[in-house]
Amino acid sequence: MLDDIWVQKRNEKIFFVIMIAALSALVWFNWVVGLLFFIITGGLLIYIKKNDYQQEQVLMKYLDDLSAGVTAGSAYAIKNLPVGIAIMDEKRQLVWANNVFRAWAHLEAEEGGRMQQLFPGTRLSKLWGKSGWFDCHVDDSYYRVFHKFIEEGGTAQGNADFMAFYLMDRTDMELTRRASEEAMPVFCQICIDNFSEVAGDLSDVEKSALLSDVNECVLAEFSKLDGFIKQYSSSDYVACISKAALQQLMKCKFDILDKVRNIRTVNRIPVTLSIGVVQNDEISFARQSEETQTLLDLALGRGGDQAVVRMGEDVKVFGGKAPAVGSRTRVRVRVVAQAIRELITESDLVLVMGHSHEDYDALGAAVGVAHMARASGIPVHVVVSKYREVTEKMRRALEDSEDLKGLLISEDEAEKLVTDKTVLFCVDTHRPDMVAAPPLLPLVSKKVIIDHHRRSNSIIGDALLVYMEPSASSASELVTELIQYYGDDTDLLDVEASCLYAGIVVDTKNFAVQTGVRTFDAASYLRRSGANVGLVRELFTVNIDMVKVESAILSGMEVVDGYIAFAECPEGIEQAQIVAGQLADYLITIEGIRCSFLFYHDSKTLRISARSDGSVNVQVVMEKLGGGGHMTVSGAQLKENARDEARTAIIEAVRAQTKEETT
């Protein structure tokens, strides 16, 4: 229509020019006739101008109507577009929002309102001036929000910059994705970890009945989860469940462990399960199957009666309420002793070390391993850390022995002696960050671990032999048994027997906790081998100044909930680790106290000595702080200013355990 109008106006101008030329020629020949035509032409010109004006009015009205229609259509489309749109000013206030955004935000999307309230969990101040997107979850809906910075420049009132937000509802997509993720398979391996001990005194009929009860319980629990489970031996199962089912198991803290443990047996020994679970979408099914076996071994290494779950790189442990049950047979001890003998005889040097800040158990066990190497005629040294205060008396006794001259060496001296045939024994610890000399680990290719602590997530890698028995009272007990089956007639020196005996005494609290038949057998063997009880007693004597310090610390003791004891050793006291350990041991002998936690300062770090009477697993408590240890004896190392946070975490962890006991 516009094209037709403009073509017509161009034609009129051409005709007018031709007419003026014709009038000029006519006037030249006959001015009368020319004047008449001039009058007629003037009238036509006035008429044409009038028509032009009317056409312009029609055109302007058409353009106004078209513009109004486009504006109204655009406004309607923007306001009702199935995408939420909102504009925020520099004051983080809502300037404008379409109907979809207002419907999403309900009554909160009022102009002038704070935008921060509409996007909980998102700091809008960090988004200002940037373009991008973020995901938002409100109530039961999921949104993806795209943000665009709009820079309008300066005005009389200041800057006029805005931020536009475009809201995309992706609830259906997110729910579908979550449903698919929750249906991902999770592999599990399950075993009855103490069946041989439980069924040792049972008749065939009683064994069959017990297995039937356990099978019924395990199969019923996994059937409730709509999972697959297959028994491939009398005490082993393999299962596959969904990720959602795993979350359900974790939410109820793997109560299947409690249900199996509550099955009554004739000899009153509870049946316990160990479970390894892997959930990792980034590795193959074959790799997940291998990981489940590794985690099952980890659960068994920690004493059994627990489930170890790996989700990506995160490892969580559930259970661990039942104390580890020691094996009644010593077949494994004999096999391990012979393997150690072969490793030692094939080496040209044996190095032994315990954990840093050695105690009597770590040093005693190291001396026991050194005896086996000496019996085989292989050069041996015990690598000790620079911290002497805890084992000062034992070190002096070893250094004064003519037969053990040069046995104790430092880390620097050990590094100079390492060869390709060197064997390194790590006793009373299995964590690479806790050994007395961490730089030795990558230098030695042949490593052996002997430990009585429950296995933690980190363990010394590439060990040729790992001998871990959480049921043992101490590493000294394990080494004493190995000596008896080592197959050599060389007698223990009195000082060696005394060191091993002291290691057992310190970890059993003078045979009061974590003792079994094998503990007393080992102690009896050491006494027959010449263990000097007087020397051991002297190792544990304290002077009057330490008694005064301990009394002052006890005066500031705090008891929470009537059974959790806290105390702190002040900075600057001598032998803080010994004081903390002794006081922690003493506190659990007080009526009503079930666990104790002693804070003490060492260099620039804050440490904790944790003890329990057996009713609280302090190892699990310390693991939450990055430490570890044993069920009744454990510890952790913290930052200097983390005391209050650690105290709160300890109380919550202990309460969680005691709450599980009452439910």
The per-residue pLDDT for 40 is 73
DSSP H helical ranges for 377-467: 392-400, 411-417
The per-residue pLDDT for 495 is 92
**Burial 246-259, CB ≥16 within 10 A → b, else e:** beebbeeebebbbe
Cα separation, 512 vs 588, whole angstroms: 11
Cα torsion at 569, 570, 572, 578 (round to 10°)? -10
Token pair for 327: 């094996």
Cα separation, 598 vs 618, whole angstroms: 12
Cα separation, 121 vs 114, whole angstroms: 14
Cα separation, 614 vs 612, whole angstroms: 5
SS3 167: strand
Cα separation, 37 vs 169, whole angstroms: 76
The per-residue pLDDT for 471 is 79
Token pair for 273: 């399960």
Low-confidence stretches of the chain (pLDDT < 70) are: 1-16, 23, 25-27, 29, 31, 33-34, 56, 59-82, 105-113, 117, 120-121, 152-160, 267, 321-331, 542, 603, 640, 660-663
Asked if 184 contacts 241 with a C-beta cutoff of 8 angstroms, the reply is no
Q: Using CB atoms within 10 A of its CB, is residue 545 exposed (0-12), middle (13-18) or buried (19+)?
A: exposed
Nearest to 101 by CA among 116, 83, 88: 83
Query: What phi, psi does 390 have (nearest 5°)?
Result: -75, -40
Give the CA count within 13 Å in the CB-facing half-sphere of 82: 2
- Per residue in 597-634, pLDDT (tens digit) is 999 887 678 889 999 888 888 888 888 888 877 778 88
